[in-house]
Amino acid sequence: MLGQHRTDDPRRGWLSGLGEPEGELHPTQGGLRIGKRLPERPPDAPFDERLEWDRDGQYFHYLTRWMHALDQVARWTREARFNTWARELAEVAHRSFTYGPPGRSGRRMVWKMSTDLSRPLVPSMGQHDPLDGYITCVQLRTTAASLAGAPLEPGLDEAVADYAGLVESGSVVTADPLGLGGLLMDAGRVAQLIGQGAFAEGDLLEALLAGALAGLSHYDRQHDLRQPASRRLAFRELGLAIGIAALGVIEDEVQGRAFPGGARVRARLEALAPYIALGFEIGSFWRDPAQQRTRVWAEHGDINDVMLATCLAPEGVLVLPPASRASADVSGGKS
C-alpha cells in the first residue's frame, strides 16, 4: 500500500504515523509513496541522478494526480470521503513540499521528498508543480462545496494562496511533450471549473492556452516524432496526446454560451486546432504493436500501457462531472 511503509523498510504502518483503525479512515494524511522498485536514498548516500529515478519517495506531481483521481471518484459516486482523502493529501503535500518566507517572491517548492516527508531528495522545483497544485486545490474545494456531508476542513486556503503566488511569478511555457500535455490538461480543468463557478474570469485559461501554443510551435519544429520508436519515450508523447484531447473539452465549454473572455479563448483554440491531428498521429503510432517491440518501450512498459489506454479513452481523466453546488469564491480570488 502506497500510504504505508514498504515491506523491506524497518519502519511499519501508515506514513502518517496513525494507528489502526485511524489510519484506514485517513490513508492519505502522510502522503503516498511513488512505489519505485528501489528504496529511497539513505541520508548518508551520495546523489545519483540516474539511480534516483528508480528510488522510492514522494513526488509532488504524483500526489496531484492522486488528488485528481480521488476527486473524480468523489464526483462520480457523490461519496464525500474520497474528496476528503484528496484534501487531506493536498494539505500534507502543501505543508511538506513548499518552503520559504511568505510572499510571492519568497516561496519555493521541492520536487521530490523522502517517504516520510522529513527531507528533500531532489530540491529543485518542477516548472508546473505550483500550477498543478493551484488548480487541483481549487478543484477539490469546488467538489467539497457540492457534496452533502463533506467536512469543512481542510479548507486549503493557505495552499491556494501560496500556489497562486507561485503561478503568477513563474512561466508556464515549455516544449517538453509531457509538460505540454499537462499544461493542456490543466487548461481543460480550468475551463470546466469556470463553468462550475470556481473562477470569475478567463485570464488563467487564456494564459495556459497561449503557453501551450508557444510550446507546441517549438516542439513541432524539433521533429522528434520523425525518430524511430527505439529513440522515443512513448509515455511522454502519449501525455501530449492526452492533453491535446482536452482541446475538445474546452471547445465544448466555451461554444454556444457566455464565457469569461470567450472571444480571446476562442481565438487561442482556433490557433491550436491544427495540432489536433498531432494527437491522433501520436496515438496511432504507439497503438501499433510493431512500435512497441523495442527495449525502451519494455523499460517503461507499465506507464506506457497506462498512458496508451488513457490516450484511447481520455474522458475519465479529462472530464469533470459537474459539482452542482460549487461556491463562486473557491479560487481564493485569483482568476
Q: Dihedral (C-alpha) 119, 67, 241, 295: value to the nearest 10 degrees? A: 50
* Per-residue pLDDT at 325: 45
DSSP structure string for 35-100: --SBPPPPTTSPP-HHHHTTB-SEEHHHHHHHHHHHHHHHHHH--HHHHHHHHHHHHHHHHHHEES
Q: Which three cell numbers stand for residue 205?
A: 485559461
What is the mean pLDDT of the segment spanning 28-44? 96
DSSP structure string for 253-276: HHTTS--TTHHHHHHHHHHHGGGH
Instruction: For the chain, give the longest Cα–Cα distance.
Output: 60
Q: Which helix (H) or strand (E) holds 113?
A: strand 112-113
Note the pLDDT tens digit of each residue in 289-333.
999 999 999 999 999 999 999 999 999 999 999 866 444 445 555
- The model carries a pTM of 0.93
Q: Are 128 and 179 in contact (CB under 8 A)?
A: yes
| Distance separating alpha carbons of residues 246 and 111, to the nearest angstrom | 26
Nearest to 132, CA basis, from 42, 224, 67, 228: 67
* Per-residue pLDDT at 326: 40
* Per-residue pLDDT at 329: 47
Note the pLDDT tens digit of each residue in 199-244.
888 899 999 999 999 999 999 888 889 999 999 999 999 999 999 9
Percentage of residues in the chain having pLDDT higher than 90: 86
